[in-house]
């Protein structure tokens, strides 16, 4: 089963590549059970929006942690 | 025809920024450029050139929002060129790692689960964070503290919006290496904010 360390790798990589079906399923399952990783997921989403903001793009209204 | 072009120019001047707006725009552009170039003078030059180039073509705009987007896209291209130049004449190896993942590994126990005291916290409302000057102050400090080789890849991806395939082409690293570097950079940035923004508030 996916541990938190591996889950954080997937939460990063999903921003750069399409995860496989298996990766997506195991990440979703892990997030259901792990509040730390759910927070991490939200933090990643905020960092991504912050970077867009700095790049002169208008911030999006809805920030969602999962894709 | 002259009247038409006069009209265009008049409209263009109305769309161009007021002095106070220019100051705010410059501030945003400088932050953007500085974080990527890590050289205040070079950032200043790039911003100046981008503004001048945008001003020269101001009669093409139809709206304010468009001007800002346009100015930033000019700046983005300038930064990409400057970074490309640096890659061709590197002062240090970009593929060299800046050490170990010790700092990140310590957050997890032997089985790879968060240690209780290191578990990521809830950062609250994202809108509030983006409007918080303290958040941005720490964000800049954390970005500047990031090792050069991580920051290079991270900013190309997150600020310039390049795909990882383009980045690894540019830097001559493998795509999987690129993903590893990006994960490392995001982990460090996140941890830096958690420690200096959240836990110090």
Residue B54 vs residue A10, higher pLDDT: A10
Strand partners, B114: B108
Q: Average pLDDT of B65-81? A: 87
| Predicted local distance difference test score (pLDDT) of residue B44 | 95
pTM score, two decimals? Answer: 0.79
d(CA B47, CA B75): 6
Mean of pLDDT over chain A:
88
pLDDT in tens, A20-37: 999 999 999 999 999 999
Q: Using a CB-CB distance cutoff of 8 angstroms, which residues of chain A are in contact with residue B126?
A: 42, 45-46, 49, 63
Report the 10 Å Cβ neighbour count for A65. Answer: 16
Q: How confident is the model at residue A54 (pLDDT cuts 50, 70, 90)?
A: confident
| Predicted local distance difference test score (pLDDT) of residue A27 | 98
The fraction of chain B above a pLDDT of 70, given in percent, is 85
The fraction of chain B above a pLDDT of 90, given in percent, is 46
Residue with tokens 């997937």: A10
**B28–A36: do the CB atoms touch at under 8 Å?**
no
**Model confidence at B56: pLDDT above 80:** yes
d(CA B61, CA B25): 17
Closest CA in chain B for residue A14: B179
- On the CB side of A31, how many CA atoms lie within 13 Å of its CA? 18
The fraction of chain A above a pLDDT of 90, given in percent, is 75
Strand partners, B108: B114
d(CA A41, CA A39): 5
* CA torsion, ordered B63, B69, B72, B76, to nearest 10 deg: -140
Nearest CA to B151 out of B38, B43, B28 is that of: B38
From B84's Cα to the closest Cα of chain A, the distance in A is 19
Q: Using a CB-CB distance cutoff of 8 angstroms, which residues of chain B are in contact with residue A34?
A: 114
| Predicted local distance difference test score (pLDDT) of residue B78 | 93
| Predicted local distance difference test score (pLDDT) of residue B96 | 44
d(CA B167, CA B170): 5
Nearest CA to A4 out of A49, A40, A42, A51 is that of: A40
Residue with tokens 């996140």: B190
Report the 10 Å Cβ neighbour count for B195. Answer: 12
**B183–A8: do the CB atoms touch at under 8 Å?**
yes
Residues of B with CB under 8 A from a CB of A: 28-29, 31-32, 35, 65, 68-69, 71-72, 75-76, 105, 108, 111-114, 119-123, 126-127, 129-130, 135, 139, 157-161, 164, 178-179, 182-183, 186-187, 189-190, 193-194
A49 token code pair: 């929006």
Is residue B104 within 8 Å of B188, Cβ to Cβ?
Answer: yes
Nearest CA to B139 out of B190, B75, B76 is that of: B190
Where would I find the H helices in B16-160? Answer: 19-37, 40-56, 64-88, 102-105, 126-130, 133-145, 148-158
Closest CA in chain A for residue B143: A51
Closest CA in chain A for residue B179: A13
Task: Please name the residues in contact with B122: beta carbons below 8 A apart, sequence gap of 6 or more.
Answer: A39, A42
For B190, the enclosing helix (H) or strand (E) is helix B175-193
Quick one: CA dihedral A12, A15, A20, A24, positive or negative? positive
Quick one: CA dihedral B172, B174, B175, B179, positive or negative? negative
B147 token code pair: 């090792």
Closest CA in chain A for residue B76: A55
Closest CA in chain A for residue B126: A46
ipTM of the complex: 0.87
**A16–B28: do the CB atoms touch at under 8 Å?**
no
| Predicted local distance difference test score (pLDDT) of residue B7 | 57
């Amino acid at each position: 089963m996916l541990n938190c360390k591996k889950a954080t790798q997937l939460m990063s990589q999903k921003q750069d590549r399409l995860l496989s079906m298996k990766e997506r399923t195991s990440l979703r399952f892990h997030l259901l059970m792990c509040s730390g990783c759910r927070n991490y997921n939200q933090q990643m989403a905020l960092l991504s929006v912050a970077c867009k903001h700095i790049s002169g793009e208008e911030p999006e209204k809805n920030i969602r942690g999962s894709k | 025809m002259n009247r038409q072009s006069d009209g265009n120019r008049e409209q263009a001047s109305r769309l161009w920024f007021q002095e106070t707006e220019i100051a705010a725009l410059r501030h945003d552009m400088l932050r953007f450029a500085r974080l990527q170039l890590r050289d205040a003078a070079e950032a200043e030059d790039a911003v100046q050139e981008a503004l001048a180039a945008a001003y020269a073509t101001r009669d093409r705009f139809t709206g304010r929002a468009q001007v800002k987007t346009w100015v930033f896209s000019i700046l983005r291209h300038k930064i990409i060129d400057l970074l490309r130049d640096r890659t061709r004449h590197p002062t240090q190896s970009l593929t060299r790692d800046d050490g170990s993942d010790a700092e990140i590994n310590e957050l997890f126990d032997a089985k790879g689960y968060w240690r209780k005291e290191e578990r990521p916290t809830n950062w609250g409302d994202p809108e509030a964070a983006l409007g918080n000057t303290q958040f941005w102050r720490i964000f800049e400090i954390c970005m500047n503290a990031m090792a050069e080789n991580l920051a290079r890849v991270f900013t190309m991806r997150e600020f310039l919006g390049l795909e990882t395939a383009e980045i690894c082409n540019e830097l001559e690293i493998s795509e999987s290496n690129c993903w590893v570097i990006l994960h490392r950079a995001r982990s460090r940035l996140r941890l830096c904010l958690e420690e200096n923004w959240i836990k110090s508030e």
